[in-house]
Every structure is written in structure tokens, then in C-alpha cells.
Amino acid sequence: MSDWLDDDVLAEQYADASNLAARHVLHARFSTADTDRYEWLFDQFDLPEDAAVLSLGAGHGALWATDPERVPDGWDVTVTDAYQGMVMDAMEALGELDREFHFDVVDARDVPYPDDSFDAVTAHHVLSHLDDADRQTALAEIRRVLKPGGKLYASATGADHLAELYDAASAFGDAPDRSAFSLSNGADQLREQFEDVERRDFEDALVVDAPAPLVAYVVSLPGFDPADGRDLEAAFRDRMADGSLELTVDAGVFVATHEP
């Protein structure tokens, strides 16, 4: 499997938001859930009206751009990513909104804010990019900057996530390995730093009726070659004998509380 823990792979993947956006489009267009996954993530928040929120690894800011009017006026939100290009894309996307956000380049392993600064930290699909030692360093940093009673919202995927897509594409490359931090093992890791950890699952499936978005998703990943696009399209068409391909969504969020 492709290595999400390699710094060079990550730097290439997240030089800007283009790869992330290709993957976002697949979910946004073909989800069968009752609500958008970012809106669902927002539904999980249980925060005061004057909350200070640190968004780690926020990419191009999709969580905050999906429905910005749901962000209470009293929230102070700092949107960060480890890669300058991502932060610039987030600034462009969120800068057009009638709402103020702060932006910063931040490595989750070395958070440059004082102790007890935030009511919440979001880390959506971030912790799977760190090896075991770095992940525990990051979690210790997150706990440090959370106020007593503050919450970490950490998204993850499970072993079955998009299994049908990776099965169809398996002849052309290796699926990314995100097993380091997943729905199956994330809770135990979080409990090394947090007293109260709850897993919440997002109920969804993707029903995709065209191969092009599937190809775009696959070639956005490390380990796959855009030159294989036509062959990938043919592989997906073969799986669409009934006109569509249903993909399993195995995703959710951990809510970890820093108890006083």
C-alpha cells in the first residue's frame, strides 16, 4: 500500500488543494446520506457560543466553507495546515465569506499556541498521516492547548472505506495505507491522552453513475499514474453493468474530551 507517512509523499499530495478537491467532489456528488458529511461533522460540535476553535490539517477549509452561517458569531476559528499551499487555498476560499477566520501554518506535532487556549480542536483525517511516535506527540500537543473540558474532534476511516473503488483500481496501484489511525484502533490511541473518547459513525454510501469522477479520485492518490486514466475508466465501466457502482463509506469521528 502507498505510504501516507512519508514526508515527501505528503508534501507532493498537499502542495495545494487540487488532489484533496478531486476526492471531495466524489463524496459531494454521489453521497446517499441525508446530510453532507461536513454538515454532519458540524452537527457533532457541542461548544459554547464564544468558543475558540483550532482547526488542524484543515486543507482548503471545506469544513468551514460548506455552511459558514452555522459558525456562531462568537466563535474564534483558527484554520491551519502543515503546508503553505493549502493554507493559501483556504485563505482564498474562506476570505470571500462574510465571516472572519484566522490562518496559520501549523505542524500538529508542534502547535505554537499557549496551554489551555482552545475549547475545541478539529483534526479531520490528519492523525493517520503520522507515525506512532509523532501521533502521540501531536495528541499531547492537542491536549496541552485544549482548555479543561475542551474537545478534540478527530475524523477517521475504517478498513472498508471505498473498498469497491480500490478493488477495481488494484491492478494500477496500491491503496493508501491509513491503518495507523483508523476507526478500529483510534479510540485506544486517543485514550492514552484523553479520559473520555466516543466514536460516532457517519451513515453513507456512494452510488456513482459515471467513471470519470472515480478516475479523478484514484489518480489524485499517491501510487497511481494519471497516464493509466483510460484503462482505469474501462475498469470502472466493467463494474457498472447495472449503470452505477456503489461504494462503501466507512467513516466517522472520534470525540475526545480533556476532562478537568
Give dist(CA 35, CA 114) in Å, integer: 36
Give dist(CA 234, CA 236) in Å, integer: 5
Residue 146 cell numbers, joined: 485544549
Report yes or no: 178 and 157 within 8 Å, Cβ to Cβ. Answer: yes
The verdict on residue 164 lying in a domain is no
Domains in the chain, number: 1
Distances in Å between the Cα of 258 and the Cα atoms of 89, 116, 143, 245 are 31, 10, 7, 41
Report yes or no: 186 and 251 within 8 Å, Cβ to Cβ. Answer: no
The verdict on residue 169 lying in a domain is no
- Residue 42: how many CA atoms within 13 Å on its side-chain side? 17
Three-state DSSP at 197 gives strand
The verdict on residue 222 lying in a domain is no
The verdict on residue 167 lying in a domain is no
Per-residue pLDDT tens listing for the chain (260 residues): 446 666 777 777 777 778 888 888 999 999 999 999 999 999 999 999 999 999 999 999 999 998 888 899 999 999 999 999 999 999 999 998 888 999 999 999 999 999 999 999 999 999 999 999 999 999 999 999 999 999 999 999 999 999 999 999 999 998 888 788 999 999 999 999 999 999 999 999 999 999 999 999 999 998 899 999 999 999 999 999 889 999 999 999 999 999 87
Partner residues linked to 124 by β-bridges: 155
Three-state DSSP at 54 gives strand
Place of cell 456503489: 246
The verdict on residue 220 lying in a domain is no
Give the structural domain span for 155.
Answer: 2-159+176-204+250-257
Dihedral of CA atoms 189, 199, 138, 21 in degrees, nearest 10, equals 130
Model pLDDT, residue 178: 76
The verdict on residue 212 lying in a domain is no
The verdict on residue 223 lying in a domain is no
The verdict on residue 45 lying in a domain is yes
CATH code for the domain in which residue 24 is found: 3.40.50.150
